[in-house]
Protein backbone atom coordinates (compact mmCIF):
# COMPACT_ATOMS: atom_id res chain seq x y z
CA UNK A 1 0.00 0.00 0.00
CA UNK A 2 1.39 3.45 -0.94
CA UNK A 3 2.13 5.76 1.96
CA UNK A 4 0.95 9.38 1.96
CA UNK A 5 3.56 11.89 3.13
CA UNK A 6 3.34 15.62 3.85
CA UNK A 7 4.80 17.88 1.11
CA UNK A 8 8.08 19.69 1.70
CA UNK A 9 6.29 23.05 1.61
CA UNK A 10 4.07 22.17 4.57
CA UNK A 11 0.49 23.45 4.79
CA UNK A 12 -2.62 21.31 4.57
CA UNK A 13 -1.74 19.40 1.41
CA UNK A 14 -0.30 15.89 1.45
CA UNK A 15 1.20 13.89 -1.39
CA UNK A 16 1.41 10.31 -2.54
CA UNK A 17 3.76 8.94 -5.20
CA UNK A 18 2.02 7.55 -8.28
CA UNK A 19 3.24 4.52 -10.23
CA UNK A 20 5.50 6.58 -12.53
CA UNK A 21 7.02 8.59 -9.65
CA UNK A 22 4.81 11.67 -10.04
CA UNK A 23 3.73 13.31 -6.77
CA UNK A 24 -0.06 13.61 -6.52
CA UNK A 25 -1.44 16.07 -3.96
CA UNK A 26 -4.60 15.96 -1.91
CA UNK A 27 -6.13 17.76 1.05
CA UNK A 28 -7.59 15.81 3.95
CA UNK A 29 -10.47 17.19 6.05
CA UNK A 30 -13.19 15.87 8.35
CA UNK A 31 -13.47 12.54 10.12
CA UNK A 32 -15.10 9.17 9.59
CA UNK A 33 -15.03 6.66 6.72
CA UNK A 34 -12.77 7.78 3.83
CA UNK A 35 -14.20 9.57 0.80
CA UNK A 36 -11.92 10.49 -2.11
CA UNK A 37 -13.13 13.31 -4.41
CA UNK A 38 -11.83 13.52 -7.98
CA UNK A 39 -12.60 16.76 -9.83
CA UNK A 40 -13.31 17.12 -13.53
CA UNK A 41 -11.77 19.35 -16.19
CA UNK A 42 -10.88 23.02 -15.62
CA UNK A 43 -10.87 22.44 -11.86
CA UNK A 44 -8.63 21.51 -8.98
CA UNK A 45 -9.47 20.15 -5.52
CA UNK A 46 -10.98 23.51 -4.53
CA UNK A 47 -13.87 22.95 -6.95
CA UNK A 48 -15.61 21.05 -4.16
CA UNK A 49 -15.61 24.20 -2.01
CA UNK A 50 -17.73 26.31 -4.39
CA UNK A 51 -21.02 25.28 -2.77
CA UNK A 52 -19.62 23.98 0.52
CA UNK A 53 -19.83 20.42 -0.79
CA UNK A 54 -16.52 19.38 0.73
CA UNK A 55 -17.29 20.96 4.10
CA UNK A 56 -20.64 19.18 4.25
CA UNK A 57 -19.11 15.83 3.32
CA UNK A 58 -16.40 16.44 5.95
CA UNK A 59 -19.11 16.41 8.61
CA UNK A 60 -19.70 12.74 7.78
CA UNK A 61 -16.46 11.42 6.25
CA UNK A 62 -12.72 11.89 6.13
CA UNK A 63 -12.54 13.68 2.79
CA UNK A 64 -9.50 13.40 0.53
CA UNK A 65 -9.87 16.04 -2.22
CA UNK A 66 -7.13 15.43 -4.79
CA UNK A 67 -5.52 17.54 -7.48
CA UNK A 68 -5.29 15.70 -10.78
CA UNK A 69 -1.97 15.50 -12.61
CA UNK A 70 -0.60 18.86 -13.71
CA UNK A 71 -3.15 20.82 -11.68
CA UNK A 72 -2.87 22.57 -8.32
CA UNK A 73 -0.05 21.08 -6.25
CA UNK A 74 0.16 17.76 -8.10
CA UNK A 75 3.17 17.04 -10.28
CA UNK A 76 3.23 16.47 -14.01
CA UNK A 77 5.05 14.27 -16.49
CA UNK A 78 8.15 16.43 -16.44
CA UNK A 79 9.76 19.35 -14.67
CA UNK A 80 8.37 22.83 -15.22
CA UNK A 81 10.30 25.42 -17.22
CA UNK A 82 11.26 28.82 -15.85
CA UNK A 83 8.09 30.17 -17.48
CA UNK A 84 5.98 27.83 -15.34
CA UNK A 85 5.01 25.45 -18.15
CA UNK A 86 6.10 21.79 -18.16
CA UNK A 87 9.21 21.45 -20.34
CA UNK A 88 7.65 18.79 -22.57
CA UNK A 89 4.67 20.97 -23.42
CA UNK A 90 6.66 24.19 -23.62
CA UNK A 91 8.66 22.51 -26.39
CA UNK A 92 5.56 21.17 -28.10
CA UNK A 93 6.31 17.51 -27.31
CA UNK A 94 3.27 15.92 -25.66
CA UNK A 95 4.31 12.33 -26.23
CA UNK A 96 5.09 11.79 -22.55
CA UNK A 97 1.47 12.29 -21.48
CA UNK A 98 -0.65 9.14 -21.18
CA UNK A 99 -4.20 9.08 -19.79
CA UNK A 100 -3.47 5.76 -18.08
CA UNK A 101 -1.07 7.56 -15.74
CA UNK A 102 -4.06 9.52 -14.41
CA UNK A 103 -5.93 6.29 -13.69
CA UNK A 104 -2.88 5.21 -11.67
CA UNK A 105 -2.81 8.57 -9.87
CA UNK A 106 -6.31 8.08 -8.48
CA UNK A 107 -5.54 4.49 -7.55
CA UNK A 108 -2.41 5.65 -5.69
CA UNK A 109 -4.44 8.02 -3.52
CA UNK A 110 -6.96 5.27 -2.76
CA UNK A 111 -4.19 2.79 -1.96
CA UNK A 112 -2.56 5.24 0.47
CA UNK A 113 -5.61 5.04 2.77
CA UNK A 114 -5.87 2.27 5.35
CA UNK A 115 -9.64 1.67 5.24
CA UNK A 116 -11.82 0.83 2.20
CA UNK A 117 -12.61 4.01 0.31
CA UNK A 118 -15.67 5.48 -1.36
CA UNK A 119 -14.42 7.04 -4.59
CA UNK A 120 -16.47 9.90 -6.06
CA UNK A 121 -15.57 11.36 -9.44
CA UNK A 122 -17.18 14.09 -11.51
CA UNK A 123 -16.97 14.36 -15.31
CA UNK A 124 -13.44 13.42 -16.44
CA UNK A 125 -12.78 12.62 -12.79
CA UNK A 126 -15.55 10.02 -13.04
CA UNK A 127 -13.74 8.35 -15.92
CA UNK A 128 -10.47 8.37 -13.96
CA UNK A 129 -12.31 6.89 -10.97
CA UNK A 130 -13.97 4.18 -13.05
CA UNK A 131 -10.62 3.04 -14.43
CA UNK A 132 -8.92 3.41 -11.05
CA UNK A 133 -11.47 0.95 -9.67
CA UNK A 134 -9.82 -1.74 -11.81
CA UNK A 135 -6.44 -0.91 -10.29
CA UNK A 136 -7.18 -1.17 -6.57
CA UNK A 137 -8.86 -3.58 -4.17
CA UNK A 138 -9.34 -0.88 -1.53
CA UNK A 139 -12.79 0.32 -2.56
CA UNK A 140 -15.99 0.36 -0.53
CA UNK A 141 -18.22 2.11 -3.08
CA UNK A 142 -18.02 4.13 -6.28
CA UNK A 143 -19.98 7.27 -7.24
CA UNK A 144 -19.67 8.45 -10.85
CA UNK A 145 -21.23 11.67 -12.12
CA UNK A 146 -21.41 11.55 -15.93
CA UNK A 147 -18.05 10.20 -17.13
CA UNK A 148 -17.48 11.68 -20.64
CA UNK A 149 -17.39 8.37 -22.51
CA UNK A 150 -18.46 8.51 -26.14
CA UNK A 151 -20.95 6.02 -27.56
CA UNK A 152 -22.77 5.75 -30.89
CA UNK A 153 -22.27 8.88 -33.00
CA UNK A 154 -21.38 11.23 -30.15
CA UNK A 155 -18.10 13.12 -30.15
CA UNK A 156 -16.62 14.72 -27.08
CA UNK A 157 -15.33 17.67 -29.10
CA UNK A 158 -15.04 18.89 -32.65
CA UNK A 159 -11.66 19.08 -34.33
CA UNK A 160 -12.26 22.80 -34.80
CA UNK A 161 -12.75 23.38 -31.05
CA UNK A 162 -9.61 21.44 -30.11
CA UNK A 163 -7.61 23.27 -32.78
CA UNK A 164 -8.88 26.61 -31.48
CA UNK A 165 -7.94 25.69 -27.91
CA UNK A 166 -4.41 24.83 -29.03
CA UNK A 167 -4.11 28.08 -31.01
CA UNK A 168 -5.22 30.08 -27.98
CA UNK A 169 -2.72 28.18 -25.86
CA UNK A 170 0.08 28.93 -28.34
CA UNK A 171 -0.91 32.62 -28.24
CA UNK A 172 -0.80 32.71 -24.44
CA UNK A 173 -4.58 33.20 -24.17
CA UNK A 174 -4.90 30.74 -21.30
CA UNK A 175 -8.10 32.16 -19.83
CA UNK A 176 -9.84 31.92 -23.19
CA UNK A 177 -8.84 28.25 -23.31
CA UNK A 178 -10.65 27.65 -20.02
CA UNK A 179 -13.76 29.56 -21.01
CA UNK A 180 -13.93 27.77 -24.38
CA UNK A 181 -13.63 24.41 -22.60
CA UNK A 182 -16.46 25.28 -20.24
CA UNK A 183 -18.68 26.60 -23.02
CA UNK A 184 -18.12 24.00 -25.73
CA UNK A 185 -17.12 20.84 -23.86
CA UNK A 186 -18.75 21.03 -20.43
CA UNK A 187 -21.59 23.13 -21.89
CA UNK A 188 -21.69 25.08 -18.65
CA UNK A 189 -24.20 27.87 -18.29
CA UNK A 190 -22.94 31.43 -18.04
CA UNK A 191 -23.92 31.39 -14.37
CA UNK A 192 -21.81 28.27 -13.75
CA UNK A 193 -18.87 29.82 -15.61
CA UNK A 194 -19.08 33.01 -13.56
CA UNK A 195 -19.24 30.96 -10.35
CA UNK A 196 -15.98 29.26 -11.27
CA UNK A 197 -14.41 32.49 -12.51
CA UNK A 198 -15.07 34.15 -9.14
CA UNK A 199 -13.46 31.28 -7.21
CA UNK A 200 -10.01 31.84 -5.66
CA UNK A 201 -8.43 29.06 -7.72
CA UNK A 202 -9.35 30.57 -11.11
CA UNK A 203 -5.93 32.09 -11.80
CA UNK A 204 -4.23 28.82 -10.88
CA UNK A 205 -6.43 27.06 -13.45
CA UNK A 206 -5.53 29.70 -16.02
CA UNK A 207 -1.86 29.02 -15.33
CA UNK A 208 -2.44 25.27 -15.88
CA UNK A 209 -4.31 25.71 -19.17
CA UNK A 210 -1.93 23.38 -21.03
CA UNK A 211 -3.56 20.45 -19.18
CA UNK A 212 -7.03 20.79 -20.67
CA UNK A 213 -6.41 20.32 -24.44
CA UNK A 214 -4.12 17.33 -23.87
CA UNK A 215 -6.53 15.55 -21.49
CA UNK A 216 -9.49 16.41 -23.73
CA UNK A 217 -7.75 14.81 -26.69
CA UNK A 218 -6.87 11.71 -24.68
CA UNK A 219 -10.35 11.27 -23.22
CA UNK A 220 -11.89 11.75 -26.68
CA UNK A 221 -9.85 8.77 -27.84
CA UNK A 222 -10.78 6.56 -24.90
CA UNK A 223 -12.56 3.35 -25.91
CA UNK A 224 -14.89 1.78 -23.37
CA UNK A 225 -14.64 -2.01 -23.24
CA UNK A 226 -17.56 -3.37 -21.22
CA UNK A 227 -15.93 -6.79 -20.86
CA UNK A 228 -13.13 -5.32 -18.72
CA UNK A 229 -15.70 -4.38 -16.04
CA UNK A 230 -17.66 -7.64 -15.99
CA UNK A 231 -16.12 -8.75 -12.68
CA UNK A 232 -16.07 -5.35 -10.98
CA UNK A 233 -18.63 -5.88 -8.21
CA UNK A 234 -18.01 -2.62 -6.29
CA UNK A 235 -21.43 -1.06 -5.54
CA UNK A 236 -21.69 1.90 -7.92
CA UNK A 237 -24.02 4.90 -8.12
CA UNK A 238 -24.26 6.62 -11.48
CA UNK A 239 -25.52 10.19 -11.18
CA UNK A 240 -26.87 12.04 -14.21
CA UNK A 241 -28.56 15.40 -14.71
CA UNK A 242 -31.86 15.49 -16.58
CA UNK A 243 -30.71 18.67 -18.33
CA UNK A 244 -27.17 17.50 -19.13
CA UNK A 245 -25.84 17.41 -22.72
CA UNK A 246 -26.95 14.30 -24.65
CA UNK A 247 -23.43 12.88 -24.85
CA UNK A 248 -23.16 12.77 -21.06
CA UNK A 249 -26.68 11.49 -20.43
CA UNK A 250 -26.46 8.85 -23.14
CA UNK A 251 -23.21 7.43 -21.73
CA UNK A 252 -24.80 6.63 -18.39
CA UNK A 253 -26.96 3.68 -19.48
CA UNK A 254 -24.25 1.64 -21.26
CA UNK A 255 -21.87 2.13 -18.33
CA UNK A 256 -24.64 0.97 -16.00
CA UNK A 257 -25.24 -2.06 -18.24
CA UNK A 258 -21.55 -2.97 -18.07
CA UNK A 259 -21.25 -2.83 -14.28
CA UNK A 260 -22.61 -5.84 -12.34
CA UNK A 261 -23.63 -3.88 -9.24
CA UNK A 262 -24.77 -0.38 -10.23
CA UNK A 263 -27.79 1.84 -10.51
CA UNK A 264 -28.67 5.23 -11.99
CA UNK A 265 -30.13 8.22 -10.15
CA UNK A 266 -31.25 11.13 -12.31
CA UNK A 267 -31.03 14.60 -10.78
CA UNK A 268 -34.14 16.25 -12.19
CA UNK A 269 -33.81 19.89 -13.19
CA UNK A 270 -30.02 19.86 -13.06
CA UNK A 271 -27.31 19.48 -15.66
CA UNK A 272 -23.65 18.46 -15.46
CA UNK A 273 -22.80 20.35 -12.27
CA UNK A 274 -25.55 19.67 -9.74
CA UNK A 275 -22.99 20.08 -6.97
CA UNK A 276 -23.14 23.78 -7.89
CA UNK A 277 -26.79 24.15 -8.89
CA UNK A 278 -28.34 21.74 -6.38
CA UNK A 279 -25.71 20.83 -3.79
CA UNK A 280 -28.24 19.64 -1.21
CA UNK A 281 -29.72 17.09 -3.60
CA UNK A 282 -26.29 15.99 -4.82
CA UNK A 283 -24.98 15.50 -1.29
CA UNK A 284 -28.16 13.77 -0.12
CA UNK A 285 -28.00 11.18 -2.90
CA UNK A 286 -24.30 10.52 -2.37
CA UNK A 287 -24.53 10.14 1.42
CA UNK A 288 -27.62 7.92 1.25
CA UNK A 289 -25.85 5.60 -1.18
CA UNK A 290 -22.60 5.48 0.79
CA UNK A 291 -24.43 4.63 4.02
CA UNK A 292 -26.71 2.07 2.41
CA UNK A 293 -26.18 -1.53 3.49
CA UNK A 294 -25.34 -3.89 0.63
Structural domain contains residue 5? no
Structural domain contains residue 6? no
Structural domain contains residue 3? no
Structural domain contains residue 4? no
Structural domain contains residue 2? no
pLDDT in tens, 147-158: 999 987 888 888
pLDDT in tens, 73-94: 999 975 444 444 444 433 333 3
- Rounded-to-integer distance, Cα 90 and Cα 50, Å: 31
Q: What's the pLDDT at 2?
A: 46
> Which of these, 238, 257, 273, lies nearest to 151 by C-alpha position?
257
Structural domain contains residue 283? yes
Domain count, the chain: 1
The alpha carbon of 216 is separated from its chain's Cα centroid by a whole number of angstroms, namely 12
pLDDT in tens, 98-136: 999 999 999 999 999 999 999 999 999 999 999 999 999
CA angle (175, 92, 69) in 5-degree steps: 60
Structural domain contains residue 1? no
- Rounded-to-integer distance, Cα 65 and Cα 25, Å: 9
Domain that holds residue 100: 13-291
The CATH number assigned to the domain holding 217 equals 3.40.50.1820
Higher pLDDT, 57 or 199: 57
Structural domain contains residue 109? yes
| pTM for this prediction | 0.89
Amino acid sequence: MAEATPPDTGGNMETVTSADGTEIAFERTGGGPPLVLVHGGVCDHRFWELSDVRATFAGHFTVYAMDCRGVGESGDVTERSSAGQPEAYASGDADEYDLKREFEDVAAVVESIDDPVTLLGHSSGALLSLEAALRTDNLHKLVLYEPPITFDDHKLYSDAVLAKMNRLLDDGENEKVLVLFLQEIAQSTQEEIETQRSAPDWQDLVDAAHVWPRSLSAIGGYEFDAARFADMTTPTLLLSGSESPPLLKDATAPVNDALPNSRIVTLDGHAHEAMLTGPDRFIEEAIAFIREEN
